[in-house]
Structure 1
Amino acid sequence: MYSADASDTVDLWMREADGSAPRQLTSGSRRNYAAASTPDGRYILFHTNRTGTWNIWRMETEGGNQRPVTVDSKIDSNWPQASADGHWVIFHRPAPGGGFHIWKTPIDGGAPVEISQEICMRPAVSLRDGAIACWYSEAGAKPVWRIGVFSPDGGRVVKIFEFAPTVSVDSALRWTADGRAVSYVDNRGGISNIWSQPIDGSPPRPVTDFHGGEIYSFAWSRDGNLAISRGMQTSDLVLISDVR
């Protein structure tokens, strides 16, 4: 699953693992991002601004029955993940003093519940034990980002991991398929590669060894395969003369 902006809108698409059979899941509904499937494969969660404010929506696997999970006209809700049991949607919302907090809401809709008041954004849920990883920072005027791991119920952070200054917190965190490490994009040397931080505290290690290019997004399948969206950004200077 991925987002594509080939038209005036940003829509969600799906393909088979070998790249075949592309099919469009959303259409003409403004901007749609961050598709994530539920553990049972029944639903796809995503965030969209089709009603103005960013809210969490869900749809059936082939794109049907699209409906909101969060309904708020003033506060954005982004980066949904299903809980390990599939009953809840975990996401982040802006915090009153800046940054973001983790929230959850029933997958069939209902009142959202704040599960942690720690500064935390872009949550990732482990299907192994339900643990929540995120980009975490202690409260302060200037965030100092690290990887934080929370229990499935939220609360306070239980594990913290430092990372290299070349890691971008604009990218998503992903649990490996076995739930024993958290992966992220490291741009050291101006080249993007996937690295993984084992939860047992051992040193992070590289997963890919690309020698050029930029990684825009990635995801692990449940059987341990890695899908990556990557490419090169180019720009040119154009001189326009004799303008009338």
Structure 2
Amino acid sequence: MPIELKGYFTPSDRTLATGQRAELRTIAIDGSGETTLLVADQVIEAPNWTPDGRALIFNAGGALWHMPADGGAEPERIDTGDIRRLNNDHILSPDGRIIYMSNGDGHIYAVPIEGGTPRKVSNEHDTPFSYYLHGVSPDGRTLSYVAIEGLGRDRRINIFTIPAEGGPDTRLSDIAEPNDGPEFSPDGEWIYFNSERGAQKPGHAQIFRMRLDGSDIEQLTDDQRVNWFPHISPDNTWLVYLSYPNGTEGHPPDKEIILRRMRPDGSEKADITAFFGGQGTINVNSWAPDSRHFAYIAYPVG
């Protein structure tokens, strides 16, 4: 039986509808073995699976939490010092020792997996520039993120990298169409992402990949649905992504969505499971180290 929690987390800006719940689930790549580990009456989002396979990490109420991957105990809060407005963009270093996280102040921080005093990774900018973290290179030395630059109609969302220890930002894209979810492949050859580049109507994001310097861009999906957040398995054999209904703009919550799989080159596309979800479901890489299972959040009503 899953753990059921009521009023367990600090309230956040996003709330669930009457009768709605958040469910932390795991499932195999072929859609089998779906298991619900945690049911909450508050919003929980974006699970990571630790590289040792022992724990799941997710965010709720502006904080990070961890719980056993078998659902054997209630979640415990990870100490992140005075950084307490964390969003659902957080990733783990390849060795599992560090959590990199995006905060509501628009910056990236690093904290030990067991918690502690955060270290600021990102830079200050003279013009509006907010960091939204998504990937870490296989050697743990580089982070990939999207930056929101500017305000209002001049706002642009492009892809960058930054050294994990801190350093200069490197721009990989410079286009007017929004980009998101940049994530390194485990072989270190590609960065996978979603983008509206080439879209015929606003919001029609598809999945792409590019080389680490931003070259050789390839489009991997081209259908009527809106596709977000590509996540590659640790063994580099499968990619899971979030597929919204046609006409969706951005990555909103509370939609009838599908989790789909494909090979890293875009072949062998197939549905895995369908449910009510969206924002918070798989904003971050949630693969288990066995490359056969992954975690996600559903938000059923009733």
TM-score using structure 2 length: 0.64
Q: CA deviation at 1:143?
A: 4.7
- Tell whether 2:32 aligns with 1:24: no
Question: 1:167 and 2:178 equivalent?
Answer: yes
Q: State the distance in 2 between where 1:72 and 1:10 align.
A: 26
Shift of 1:213: 0.8
Task: Describe the shift of the 1:112–1:227 C-alpha distance in structure 2 as closer, same or farther (beyond 3 A).
Answer: same
Q: Could you tell me which residue of structure 2 aligns to residue 226 of structure 1? A: 239
Residue 204 of structure 1: which of 213, 217, 241 is its match?
217
Deviation at 1:146, TM superposition (A): 2.2
How far off is 1:71 after superposition?
5.3
Aligned residue number for residue 105 of structure 1: 111
Q: Tell me which residue corresponds to 1:239.
A: none
Provide the rounded CA distance (Å) in 1 between the counterparts of 2:47 and 2:100: 13
Runs of at least 5 residues in structure 2 that lack an aligned partner in the other structure: 1-15, 125-129, 249-302
Shift of 1:155: 2.8
Structure 1 residues 166 and 112, CA gap change in structure 2 (3 angstroms): same
For 1:135-190, what per-residue CA distance to the aligned partner results, in whole angstroms no more than 9, with x for missing partners?
A: 13568896543211111212322x21115433344xx2222232222211123124
Q: CA deviation at 1:103?
A: 0.4
Compared CA separation, residues 229 and 116, structure 1 to 2 (3 A): closer
Instruction: Tell which deviates more after alignment, 107-116 or 66-75.
Output: 66-75
| Letter in structure 2 aligned against 1:9 | R
Match runs of 1:79-158 below 5 Å: 79-95=89-105, 100-118=106-124, 119-136=130-147, 143-157=155-169
Match of 1:193 among 197, 206, 215: 206
1:62 maps to which residue?
70
**CA 1:177–1:74: 2 relative to 1, 3 Å:** closer
Q: Bigger shift: 20-29 or 86-95? A: 20-29
- Work out whether residues 207 and 228 of structure 2, in 8 Å CA contact, stay in contact via their aligned partners in 1: no
Structure 1, gaps ≥5 residues long: 236-244
For residue 200 of structure 1, what is the amino acid of its counterpart? D
69-78 vs 102-111, which moves further = 69-78
Which residue of structure 2 lines up, in the alignment, with residue 15 of structure 1? 27
| CA distance 1:138–1:193, shift in 2 (3 Å) | closer
Distance in 2 (CA, whole Å) between partners of 1:71 and 1:222 is 27
Query: What residue in structure 1 maps to residue 193 of structure 2?
Result: 184
- Report the residue type matching 2:84 in the other structure: I
Distance in 1 of aligned mates of 2:186 and 2:26: 20
Q: Tell me: higher relative CO, structure 1 or 2? Use CA pairs within 8 A at least 6 residues apart.
A: 2
Distance 1:29 1:179 in 2: 39
Q: Structure 1 runs of 4+ off > 4 angstroms?
A: 71-74, 137-143
- Give me the identity figure in percent: 21
| Amino acid in structure 1 at the alignment position of 2:65 | W
Whether the 8 Å contact between 2:80 and 2:118 is mirrored in structure 1 is no
From the superposition, tell whether residues 164 and 116 of structure 1 become closer, same or farther in structure 2 (CA, over 3 Å). closer
**Normalising by structure 1, what TM-score?**
0.77
Larger radius of gyration: 1
Q: What corresponds to 2:287 in structure 1?
A: none
Is residue 47–residue 55 contact of structure 1 (8 Å, CA) maintained in 2? yes
- What number of residue pairs does the alignment pair up? 219
Q: How much has 1:81 moved relative to structure 2?
A: 0.6
* Residues 35 and 180 of structure 1: CA distance in aligned 2, closer, same or farther (over 3 Å): same
Q: For residues 231 and 138 of structure 1, what CA distance do their matches in structure 2 show?
A: 26
